[in-house]
A and B are shown apart, each in its own frame.
Chain A
Amino acid sequence: MKEISGYYDKEASLLEAVKNLRENKIKIKDVFSPYPVHGLDHAMGLKRSWLPRAAFIGGAVGAISGFGFQVWVFTRAYPINIGGKPFLAAPSFIPVTFECAILFAAFAIVIAYLFRSHLGAGADNKIYDERATNDRFVVVLDTAEIESNETEKIKSKFEETGAMNVKFEE
Chain B
Amino acid sequence: MKFIWILKFGTCNFKIIVSLKYKNVSEISTREPLIQGNKSLKDITDDVFNPIVAKPGKLWFLGLMIAGSAALIGIIAIVLTIWKGIGLWGVNKTVGWGWSITNFVWWVGIGHAGTFISAILLLFRQKWRTSINRSAEAMTIFAVICAGLFPLIHMGRFLLGFFIFPYPNTRDVWVNFNSPLLWDVFAITTYFLVSLIFWYVGLIPDLGTVRDKMKTKFKKTIYKFLSFGWTGSAKHWQRFEIVSFTLAGLAAPLVLSVHTIVSFDFATSVIPGWHTTIFPPYFVSGAIFSGFAMVLTLLIIARKTMNLQDYITINHIELMNKIIILTGSVVGVAYMTELFMAWYSGVEYELFAFINRATGPYWWAYWIMMTCNVISPQLFWFKKLRRSIGFTFFMSILINIGMWFERFVIIVTSLHRDYLPSSWEMYKPTLIEVAIFVGTLGIFFTLFLLFVRFFPVIAMAEVKTTIKNK
Q: Which residues of A approach B to under 8 Å, CB–CB?
A: 10-11, 30-38, 40-41, 44, 46, 48-49, 51-52, 55, 59, 69-70, 73-74, 77-78, 80, 82-83, 85, 89, 92-93, 95-96, 98-100, 102-103, 105-107, 109-110, 113-114, 116-128, 130-135, 138
Contact = CB atoms under 8 A, between A and B. Distances in A.
Given A96-B183, A106-B194, A133-B205, A82 B261 contact: no
Contact of A113 (B172, B208, B239): B239
A120 B197 contact: no
15 contacts: A35-B205, A35-B462, A41-B238, A49-B238, A52-B246, A85-B178, A89-B178, A92-B177, A95-B261, A106-B198, A122-B225, A125-B229, A127-B212, A132-B232, A134-B41
B247 interface: yes
Nearest to A136: B41
Interface in B230-280: 230-243, 246-247, 250-251, 253-254, 257, 261, 264
Contact of B470 (A10, A74, A89, A133): A10
B213 A134 contact: yes
A32 to B, nearest CB: 4
A123 B232 contact: no
A110 B465 contact: no
A135 B469 CA distance: 11
A30 B228 contact: no
A83 B178 contact: yes
A134 B205 CA distance: 10
A170 B254 CA distance: 50
B176 to A, nearest CB: 6
Contacts of A123: 228-229
Contacts of A10: 470
Interface of B: 40-42, 45, 166, 172-174, 176-180, 182-183, 186-187, 189-190, 193-194, 197-198, 201, 204-205, 208-209, 211-213, 225, 228-243, 246-247, 250-251, 253-254, 257, 261, 264, 460-462, 464-465, 470
Contact of B239 (A51, A100, A107, A128): A51
A73 B179 CA distance: 14
B233 A32 contact: yes
A30 to B, nearest CB: 5
Contacts of A55: 246, 250
Given A78-B174, A134-B42, 4 more contacts: A31-B233, A69-B166, A106-B198, A114-B228
B197 A107 contact: yes
A133 B176 contact: no
A94 to B, nearest CB: 9
B178 A30 contact: no
A83 to B, nearest CB: 7
B461 A34 contact: yes
Contacts of B235: 30, 46, 117
A34 B228 contact: no
Contacts of A117: 233, 235-236, 239
